[in-house]
């Protein structure tokens, strides 16, 4: 998946979540980090999860096919109130402390009106929503 999330990460309905778990579905590494699930994060790391993986996002304001790297697990972990333990786990596993969320940086640039109306309209026609 381009955003690193599984269907279970995205499910909102409890019955759907239960059905997914019943069929072996599990939260992604990013999902467990985002939710601060210490045991699961530890398990993913032991299984060799890439602590520096970044979401991949296609930006409609850039030439066709251009992809940008988004958040890493560390970006998700630092947003949590009780982040210290998960952040420490990621750092102990060599998470990059200087990884740049290019998508967020681009969204800030777009807010400064460098993205044309035509490009934003094209994205809407494709059903994309980035909150621009």
Residue-wise pLDDT for 60-106, tens only, equals 666 666 666 778 889 889 888 777 899 999 999 999 998 888 766 65
On whether residue 1 sits in a domain, the answer given is: no
On whether residue 101 sits in a domain, the answer given is: yes
Which of these, 68, 69, 80, 72, lies nearest to 97 by C-alpha position?
72
Residue 52's CATH number: 1.25.40.20
Range of the domain at 18: 7-125
On whether residue 131 sits in a domain, the answer given is: no
Instruction: Please count the structural domains in the chain.
Output: 1
Residue-wise pLDDT for 93-117, tens only, equals 999 998 888 766 655 555 555 555 6
Question: Which residues have CB under 8 Å from 64's CB, separation 6+?
Answer: none
On whether residue 130 sits in a domain, the answer given is: no
């Amino acid at each position: 998946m381009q955003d690193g999330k599984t269907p279970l990460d995205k499910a909102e309905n409890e019955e759907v979540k239960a059905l997914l778990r019943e069929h072996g579905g599990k939260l992604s590494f990013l999902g467990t980090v985002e939710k601060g699930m210490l045991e699961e994060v530890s398990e993913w790391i032991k299984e060799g999860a890439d602590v520096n993986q970044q979401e991949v996002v296609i930006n409609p304001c850039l030439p066709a096919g251009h992809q940008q790297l988004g958040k890493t697990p560390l970006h998700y972990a630092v947003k949590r109130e009780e982040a210290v333990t998960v952040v420490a786990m990621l750092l102990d596993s060599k998470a990059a402390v200087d990884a740049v969320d290019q998508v967020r940086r681009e969204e800030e640039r777009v807010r400064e009106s460098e993205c044309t109306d035509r490009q934003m309209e094209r994205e809407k026609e494709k059903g994309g929503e980035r909150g621009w």
